[in-house]
Structure 1
């Protein structure tokens, strides 16, 4: 299965899941404030999450739901993200305090859980850690981390090569490739590395494939 395209029959299955989500999460969706660019990214994540869930034998509904809501707070003001985090008693690391935009996943997961919107621990974990990765996370979290980086609307140097490289790889192999690419890109750009990303990569190296 090409990770960037879906066959008609597969698209019908995805449509059924999306209709179910629209009904079950109508209120949450009505309050979602995102740009057209972010909407396209979410569509790309939803489609690829569904495709990869089938490839890696994961629950497609959970994969799509996590993808649908992973960037719920991505475009709110930094000040609002920090205020939400404090109000929800979210633990903020030194790195997150310095770069508060990365808090959007953790804040979203906590918000959904605290308000009873989403209770599934796998989905919440995937949403929380989709930006930086995390050591010891489950397969759904690995999938969303991969998808967030390479869905079809992502445009950056090397993304096509990364998509090609991931084809045919196991979930863990693909996760490692994206972690490695993230770390290398940050080093090339002279950016500060997130401890969570380094920890995720080191963990995968320690446990082996």
Structure 2
């Protein structure tokens, strides 16, 4: 249960995420905005689901390869995958529910200043908390667990084998995701500065 992952394959896994980020920054007229935002939401969640599922697959493969019985970390790796799958179905539900209605499903207060206040309650708060949990799990928890467990193994050849089979691909996936996201934030920030100068 291992993935032969290099930087090119990691970039391919993140293509839906990149396309979603590009679609989110496009300036569109009001007619196309709703459709494009729905498509970008689907791609964003699918783009987060694919690398999270790959990382969970590698973590579970690592736990099985070492013969450890760590149900907590298996469940911890699968919770974000389950959440993202449910979230995709929730987005599909919202898109079918929203068609035919002119109003948005978000409760936005009238603009009283430079920033519009939005009420985050109920389902939206749960979604935000699970997205934060998914981010922390993807960036920190899974990689650190595998790294710590490899350091506990006394046999250096077994350490090197596990590091090459599981830890290095997991790190490649996280680094590639961070590089793409950081590069995108930098490019959009520069673009915004140039547009308003």
TM category, shorter: 0.3 to 0.5
Larger radius of gyration: 2
Which structure: greater helix fraction?
2
TM-score by length of 2: 0.34
